């Protein structure tokens, strides 16, 4: 704790220029005697701190003291600040203090150029707890176990080495190494339940050929389709498909694309009701027809 506080005092003095022992003691919640001992340690380390007596006195760095930042040019310094601002915007609180320190060291103003909020409109405490557990496991190289529901709705127990959290589309995912199967896997956080962080450590340096997370594709077959969307579903169409796949007509959108050939996609198309029609292929039209018949039977008034 002492070493950390010494750096904190140094950053504080760079920031405020001049202060008093009492202000430092109040700020760091220690005694004045502790502050004086810390100042002595900084002096021994070669930091030119000046103490002045009197009304205008206090503790300050020598005005000629310059923190050695010449290894980075101005553009590189600004890139570091921008990166830290990005992390801060993700509401990862531990980066706020670091951002402020680096701004002070580099004498750069906060640009406030980005704001990101991954939270739901309804606060999701369960997802926050998952995120915190996984972050701890990843940073400390701890093995985790959990129950997982795959794309087909099947549940199974998993025992993995967690490697990286990433956000894609509109969801959080975990990249992990399944040691039992000897493969890398991607898990959707919303499908992970009963996460337990074990005491067992794993050596990340022994893992080789870790794939880039954005090369991930869920293990499902895909098929070519032609879909016709009503104009009122335009926002969905442009959110879900590439511009090159969309042809705008006077009264509809025609989409020619590849979609996953699974029950989840059928459910998604059904959720759009009469706003979408499957033009091709015929087997998908037949599948949709059979699903509609099931719904009609399910909701018969005389049941």
Nearest to 7 by CA among 71, 72, 67, 84: 67
Q: Could you report the per-residue pLDDT of 232-267, keeping only the tens digit for each?
A: 998 889 888 888 899 999 999 999 999 888 787 888
pLDDT category at 293 given cuts 50, 70, 90 is very high
Per-residue confidence (pLDDT) for residue 303, from 0 to 100: 62
3 state DSSP class of 284: helix
Break the chain into its structural domains and give their ranges. Answer: 2-61, 69-117, 125-215, 222-298
pLDDT for 75 beyond 80: no
pLDDT category at 108 given cuts 50, 70, 90 is low
Please state the pTM of the whole predicted model: 0.48
- Its CATH class, for the domain covering 2-61, is mainly alpha
Give, rounded to a whole angstrom, the gap between the first and last alpha carbons of the chain: 71
**Whole-angstrom Cα distance, residue 219 to residue 255?**
23
User: Bridge-partner residues for 106, per DSSP?
Assistant: none
Question: How many residues are recorded in the chain?
Answer: 303
Q: Nearest-5° angle of CA 277, CA 278, CA 279?
A: 105
CATH 2.30.30.100 matches 125-215? yes
**Whole-angstrom Cα distance, residue 117 to residue 96?**
16
Q: Name the residue with tokens 């009609």.
A: 296
Q: Do domains 2-61 and 125-215 have the same CATH topology?
A: no
């Amino acid at each position: 704790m002492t070493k950390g506080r010494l750096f904190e005092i140094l950053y504080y003095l760079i920031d405020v220029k001049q202060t008093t022992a009492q202000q430092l003691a109040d700020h760091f919640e220690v005694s004045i005697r502790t502050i004086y001992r810390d100042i002595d340690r900084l002096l021994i380390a070669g930091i030119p701190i000046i103490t002045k007596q009197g009304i205008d006195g206090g503790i300050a760095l020598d005005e000629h003291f310059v923190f050695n930042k010449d290894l980075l040019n101005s553009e590189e310094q600004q890139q570091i600040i921008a990166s830290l601002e990005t992390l801060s915007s993700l509401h990862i609180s531990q980066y706020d203090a670091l951002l402020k320190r680096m701004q002070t060291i580099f004498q750069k103003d906060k640009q406030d150029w980005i704001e990101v909020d991954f939270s739901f409109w309804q606060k999701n405490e369960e997802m926050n707890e998952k995120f915190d557990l996984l972050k701890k496991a990843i940073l400390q190289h701890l093995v985790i176990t959990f129950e997982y529901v795959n794309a087909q709705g099947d549940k199974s127990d998993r025992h993995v080495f967690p490697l990286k959290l990433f956000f894609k589309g509109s969801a959080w995912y975990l990249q992990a190494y399944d040691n039992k199967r000897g493969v890398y896997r991607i898990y959707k956080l919303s499908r992970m339940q009963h996460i337990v962080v074990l005491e067992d450590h794993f050596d990340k340096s022994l893992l080789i050929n870790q794939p880039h997370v954005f090369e991930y594709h869920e293990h499902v077959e895909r098929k070519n389709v032609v879909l016709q969307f009503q104009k009122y579903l335009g926002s969905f169409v442009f959110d879900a498909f590439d511009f090159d796949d969309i042809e705008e007509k006077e009264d509809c959108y025609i989409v020619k694309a590849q979609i996953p050939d699974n029950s989840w996609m059928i459910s998604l198309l059904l959720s759009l009701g009469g706003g979408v029609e499957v033009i091709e292929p015929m087997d998908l039209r037949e599948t949709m027809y059979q699903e509609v018949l099931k719904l009609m039977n399910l909701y018969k008034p005389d049941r």
